[in-house]
Amino acid sequence: MKRIFLFVMTNIAVLAVISVVLFALSAFFGVNTSGYNQQGQLDYGSLLILSAVIGFAGSFISLAMSKWMAKRSMGVQLIEQPKNSREAWLIQTVQRQARQAGIDMPEVGIFPSPAPNAFATGMRKNAALVAVSEGLLQNMTQDEVEAVLGHEVSHVANGDMVTLSLVQGVVNTFVIFLSRIAGHFVDRVVFKSDRGHGVGYFISVLVFQVMFGFLASAIVCWFSRQREFRADAGGAQLAGRGKMIAALQRLQGAQPAQMPEQMAAFGINMSVASGVRKLFTTHPPLEQRIAALQQGR
């Protein structure tokens, strides 16, 4: 129920931002944001602006709310004052790694899950959150946990959250832009609509948006998989290559934790599909990640 509420709140925020931005562009800057000119013909420049506002709004609102949503949807308990030696060690380790990586100290938290996992999120690299599961702390050695923390700190230092949001925003923009052009073509040529938008336009836009959306998801997931290799390499630098390899080997026999979509791309361990579904996974297979580290990549 909590996740549904957060999902609804996020979408309300996205719609509000889109409305405000489009109104401001139209009212204060005289920008045509309808996508059409006065003769009812496509205005590609206007349509691109409209598509960009819609495409980037969802991506960056989700990023801006990511820490807040993570704390609530995952039940993250922040370590503000360490209550025991384990929490003190977590704080000290992240503090040392953040200093090595050249970023400000992230917030550190623990979330209740029996499966070993961790994630990092945040809109800015100097105001991030790194969280680990209870299962990870219970089932991994201290050296392996150190490597996992290094992986997540590397995600933050590399700016992966912002980069993927930018990539998502760009592909969203072109999905919206191209689907509306295709819908307009079908409406005018196939359904012979000469003014306004007929039902053929709305159906066609929906169909093309789904089709282009699948292709866009594959592009975003490819970028995400490359970022995982880079974060593994960063974890190896911060904690040691042997520790990073050992941590990934430990995860091979573990069941990945279920995580909200906005955090999943930055978790240390996510389920990997086979066949065509591989194109739509955010993480490469653990065997490939281990091999890359063993080969010094």
The catalytic residues are 152
Residue written as token pair 């977590």? 90
Q: How many CA atoms lie within 13 A of 135 on its CB side?
A: 16
Q: What is the DSSP string of 128-190?
A: -EEEEEHHHHHHS-HHHHHHHHHHHHHHHHTTHHHHHHHHHHHHHHHHHHHHHHHHHHIIIII
Helices (H), 158-297: 160-185, 199-239, 241-252, 261-264, 286-294
Measured CA distances, 157 to 171, 202, 227 (Å): 24, 43, 12
